[in-house]
Each structure stands twice: as C-alpha cells, then as structure tokens.
Amino acid sequence: MASKIQMTLWLLTLYLNSGECFSNGKVTQACGDMKPEHGHDPSPQTPPYNITLDKYQYHVGDQIRVTLSITAPGGSYFKGFLIEARAQGKRDRGAVGSFILVDTSISQLLTCGHTQGSAVSHTSDAKKSEVQVIWIVPDNPPASIQFMFTAVQKYKIYWVMVPGPVATLKGTTAGPPPATTTTDSTTTSPAVLPSPFSAKDCGTSKSCLRDPVNCDPGTESLCHFLSFRTVGQSVQFELSGPADGYVSFALSLDKWMGNDDVYLCVKNEDRVEISAAYVVGRTHPEVATENALRDTAWAMYDGVIQCSFRRDIDLDRLNQSRFHLDHSYFLFLAHGSAEHGVIHRHNRQPLISSHQKAITGTPEDLSGSRSPLLLKFHGIFMLVAWMTTVSTGVIFARYFKLDWPESSLFGQRVWFQVHRALMVLTVVLTCVGFILPFIYRGGWSKRAGSHPYLGCTVMALALIQPIMALLRPPPDSSKRPIFNWMHLGAGTIAQILAVAAIFLGIHQQALLLPAPWATGVLAGFVVWGLLADLVFELHSRGYLLPEITAQFFAAGRQAEDKRAILSGPSERNGFRFRRIILGVFLCGNVTFLFTLITLISNV
C-alpha cells in the first residue's frame, strides 16, 4: 500500500515536473520504487555496475561499507544513483537502516519513510566511477537485507532498482523470511496460523478485547477478537474477526479517531498484509514505511481474517513515532471492506474499550462498546419519552377525561394532572436527550442522514406544545376547539416524526442495534400502542359493549360482583374496562421498552 501511495505521488510529480530531472539528486519521491523521473524505459541491458560490501554478515549496530562501482570492463561512468537497503523478501516495505556518507561532495542522505538517511543519492550529475557509503545496521534488523540501487548513465540510459548483494544477520540462515505481506512474497511461504486463536487464557496470561462479550474465536466465527501479552521486550498481538476486507485495532489516547497508532491486517487477493499505520485525523491511515512488526503470521477461513505479530515495547531506536506499549490507551477494534489491499472506512463503529489499558499491564479481560454512553442515554431517553410517557399521557387525555368525576389531584382533575405530568416528563426527557448527541459530536453530524432533522422538528414541536397549553383559551371559549385541534395535531405530528426518528436512530452507526431483531421489537412496540389506541377508540364509540367485555374479564367472579357492574351507570362499567386495557397496555409497553433498553445497553 505504501508503494501504491508512493507510486501515485511519483506519477503526480512526473506529471507536474515532466521534462525536469533531478540532477541535484533530491529524489525523495523515488524512495519507494527508486525510479528516476526520466520518462523513458530503463535499459534492458545488464547494468555495468554493481555493489560490493566489506562484509556480508552483520550484528545489531554494525557498519557495512557499501561500494557502488563499475563492474563491466570498460564500462561507462554513471552520473546519478540511489542506494537503499531493503529487507529481503519485503522489498516493497521500503528502506531499512540508515547510511552515513564517506564523500559528501558526491553523495547525500535522503529520508525515506520515517528514517533519516535511509537512502543515498548523488549531489550533481558529475561523472562518477565509484561511490562509497556506510550502512548502519538498525536495531531489530531483518534476518537478511539486500542492497538495491538505481544508476543513471545518461538521461535515457538508466537501470532501476537493480538487486545487489545480500547480507545476513549473524546467527540466522538466509531462508525464506517469515510471513511476508509483500508483492514479492509469492515465492516464499508465509507463516500460516495452524488454528484459530483461543480465548482460554484471556484475563490470566493475556489481555483480551472481544465482541460479542466473552466470545471465543476458537469456536465461534462471529467473534471479533484482540489479545496481547508481553514477551520480553516486545508484545505479542493476536487479532481476528469476521470481515470481508480487513480487521484492525488502534491504540488511542482518547475515545476519538485521530492521532492513533493503528495495526492492520488487510486481505489482498489470497493473502493477508499485516502492517502498522498512523491515523492523523479522521482520515485514511498512513502506512508506516519502516516495518516494526515481527513474527507475522496469518490465516483466512470462513470469512474470518486472522493475524498475529510481535512489536517492541518502544520503537524509539528505530526513530519511529509509534506509541510506547507500556503506556495506557483506549483500544479500538474495527473491521471493514478492502479492495486490492486498500481499506475502506469501517462499516460499523469500532468497538472501544471501556477504559484505558496499559498494553504491558497485568492481563485483563477487557470489555468494550461500539456505542458511546452519551448516545445510549440519548436513545433511552427518547424511547422512554416517545414510546411510553407520551402514549400514556395521550391515552389519559383522550379516554379518561370523564373518570374520577368526584376526586381531584392537587386541585385539578385527575386525568389532567396525569396528562400534564407525563407530557412535562416527555418534554424534559426530549430536551436532555436532544442535547446529548451534540455534546458527544461537538456539533452537527453529517453522517446521520435525516435523523437529526427529524429530531430537531420533534424537539421544536415538543417545546411548542406546553407553550400552547399554557396559553389555551378557557374551556367555554369559542376558540377552545381551535386549541384542541392544534394541540392534538401538533402532538400527533410530533409523535409520528419521533417514531420515524427512532426507527432511523436504531440504524445509526453510533447506536446500531442488532437488526432485524431490534427493528422487529420496535415495530411490535409501535403496533402495541396502536392496538391499545384502537381498542380504546372502539370502546369509546360503543363498539365494544361494556357489559359483555366486563363479563368476559370478570368471568369466574362472584355473581354479586357481576350484578354490581351491570347495575352501575354504563360509563362506570366502561371505566373498569378501560383500566384493565390501560394495565395491559402498560405491561406490554414496559416489556417492549425494557427489551430495547437491554439491547441498547449491550451494543
């Protein structure tokens, strides 16, 4: 991927600078593919130059004298050059180690990737027959490295990324490198993970972050899993989960994306590329050119991507601005799709650990959530307000006006007090619930579709209702019916919009309830309310005969009880019936509400 980005940059610079060439040797844009911007094809001839080394085996911190010189007898001098060392078998991972100069008049250091001096180039197009530089073996060197060079004889005659000699780390044999993720790895066999990871040691010898809670990647394929354990001076990570493109995790100082240390396992055709990256803002991660990951291994099965690698606790020695693993971070677990190894934005909110965790700290079974607490409360408040308190308040106003004719509550009619209390509660819950997403986002969310627009309309209507109610004309006023209709109209519109907003809300990325299960529960919730309304309405119009229904509900009761019902005024009989319906409605309503609140608290 890094090389792709470099390629793009290189094409862009080629386009912008066509005709120009870099006789000053400041060719950092050629770091990746080592191509000079000459607009001609490299020479098909065998290059008349090669690199020789003063030693072919190295230790950490060693210096190797690298000489680029003419090899063919009578070969022509060269004008331009670029030298880099690449990990063998991981050439497209960029330059490794750094150089120091021997002759500053003909050579200069370049910064490729994050490492200063990781490449050397010419200073001018003066004719040269030999150039010497010193390569310093980095900490954590690869098992073997290969020096690569580009040499320019004339503007139109040059050779690109010519493989030079190989040097190996002492004590290792130059064999196929471990699980590589590079384009030239097709000839080597990457380390294959023998079996799925296990959650067995979670909390005892390794820390784990899992979604769903306590799932086991060894037995469930629908398990997003991250584990880490300290091994000496490094940390061993295991990452797996169902994904069609990539699985990743990030270390973050806050619960926001941005300035995060990211680790990616990206599917590319039939391979998994494992890399470290850095996310600067809410943007695409920038892949680190210098690879800091070791012992990489991966597997793919049943749509699950699985990878493991090791990283040193601190990478200061590599001059990499990557996070120290002995500090505490929030852990983000994300997955998504990828195309040709290039990742797309995650399609679900990442799972974020509930607290910051020191990566090298004591093993812990971590829990996380894909949804921020503020948005969970937003959802719960809106559900309570618009599915429970508002419906109950409306039922009281519509069907209980004539009941409790003798009694009053705090000096007002009972139905009115109940209605007013529930509606005030609705407005308060809506106001609080309304503010929460703005606190969380710090502004307007562009990704939320029409949900926030509906929400604002509902909020406005919810505020108009109590004002309208306070200014209502007296009951005997001729304007009273107008108020009644407006109050009913605005309330009904608010309720319909609120229900629509809730349906959209449970599909929002930041509060994504499990579909279709949650959608079904919410639909049931709405139907339950409509059904109660229908029964009340039919009853109030006399379609449900109070005597018959009362008898039905009173079945098995004493005869005098039945007589008492039948002898009372019909309105009072209806009252008993309405109370029963209200009770049944509330039981169902609260059950639906708690089911949804449970779903919200579990995402």
- Minimal distance, residue 279 CB to ligand NAG, in Å: 23
DSSP for 67-135? Answer: EEEE-STTPPPBSEEEEEEEETT-GGG-B-SEEEES-TTTEEEEEETTEEEEEEEESS---BSEEEEEE
Least Å distance between CB 320 and ligand NAG?
9
Q: In Å, how far from its chain's centre is CA 601? A: 19
Q: Which structure tokens are listed for 592?
A: 């639906």
To the nearest whole angstrom, how small is the minimum distance from the Cβ of residue 98 to ligand NAG?
A: 4
Among 8, 116, 321, 412, binds ligand NAG (CB under 6 A): 116
Which residue of 25, 89, 138, 372 would you call a contact of ligand NAG, by CB under 6 A? 138
Residue with tokens 């690698």: 309
Q: Please identify which residue in 87, 133, 143, 162 interacts with ligand NAG, judged by CB under 6 A.
A: 162
Distance CA 114, CA 321 (A): 8
| From 37-45, 162-170, 481-489, 568-576, span contacting ligand NAG (CB under 6 A) | 162-170
Minimum CB distance to ligand NAG, residue 431 (Å): 55
Burial letters for 127-162: b for 16+ Cβ neighbours within 10 Å, e otherwise?
ebeebbbebbbbebbbbbbbbbbbbbbeeebbbbbb
Produce one character per residue of 329-359: b if its CB has 16 or more CB atoms within 10 Å, e if not. bbbbbbbbebeebebeebeebbbbbeebbeb
Of 43 and 540, nearer to ligand NAG (C-beta) is 43
Establish if 23 lies at the interface with ligand NAG (CB under 6 A): no
**Segment interacting with ligand NAG, rule: CB under 6 A, options 158-166, 239-247, 293-301, 478-486:** 158-166
DSSP run (H or E) holding 431:
helix 414-441
Contact 516, 396 (CB under 8 A): no
What is the rounded CA–CA span in Å between residue 497 and residue 458? 6
Cα–Cα distance for residue pair 450/355, rounded to 1 Å: 32
What is the amino acid identity at position 457? T
Neighbours of 436 (CB within 10 A): 20
DSSP notation for 404-426: SSS-EETTEEHHHHHHHHHHHHH
| Shortest distance, position 163 Cβ to ligand NAG, whole Å | 6
Q: Considering only 157-165, 225-233, 498-506, 556-564, which stretch makes contact with ligand NAG by CB under 6 A?
A: 157-165
Binding mask 36-75 for ligand NAG (x = CB under 6 A): -----------x--x-------------------------
Closer by beta carbon to ligand NAG, 160 or else 565: 160
- If the CB atoms of residues 47 and 350 are measured against ligand NAG, the closer one turns out to be 47
Query: Minimum distance between the CB of residue 51 and ligand NAG, rounded to whole angstroms?
Result: 6
Euclidean distance between the first and the last CA atom of the chain, given in angstroms as a whole number: 33
Per-residue binder mask for ligand NAG (CB under 6 A), 363-382, x = binder: --------------------
Residues 87-106 interacting with ligand NAG (rule: CB under 6 A): 98
Quick one: which H or E segment has residue 10?
A: helix 2-17
Annotate each residue in 315-344 with x if it binds ligand NAG (CB under 6 A) or - if it does not, as one string: ---xx-------------------------
Q: Which is nearer to ligand NAG, 199 or 318 (CB)?
A: 318
Contact status: 524 vs ligand NAG (CB under 6 A) = no
Can you tell me which residue has the tokens 């509902």? Answer: 458
* Segment interacting with ligand NAG (CB under 6 A) among 159-167, 185-193, 239-247, 271-279: 159-167
We find the least distance from the C-beta atom of residue 52 to ligand NAG, in angstroms, to be: 7
164 binds ligand NAG (CB under 6 A): yes
> Per rule CB under 6 A, is residue 168 in the interface with ligand NAG?
no
Q: In the structure encoding, which two tokens stand for residue 447, read together?
A: 């990704």
Number of residues that bind ligand NAG (CB under 6 A): 11
Is the Cβ of residue 144 or residue 369 nearer to ligand NAG in the bound state? 144
Which three-class secondary structure string do you get for 19-44?
A: CCCCCCCCCHHHCCCCCCCCCCCCCC
Closest distance to ligand NAG from the beta carbon of 599 (Å): 51
Q: Is 165 in the site for ligand NAG (CB under 6 A)?
A: yes
Q: Which is nearer to ligand NAG, 140 or 349 (CB)?
A: 140
147 or 323, CB closer to ligand NAG? 147
* Dist CA 548 CA 240 (whole Å): 63
Q: Of 414, 418, 394, 401, whose CA–CA distance to 571 is shortest?
A: 401
Binding site for ligand NAG (CB under 6 A): 47, 50, 98, 115-116, 138, 162, 164-165, 318-319
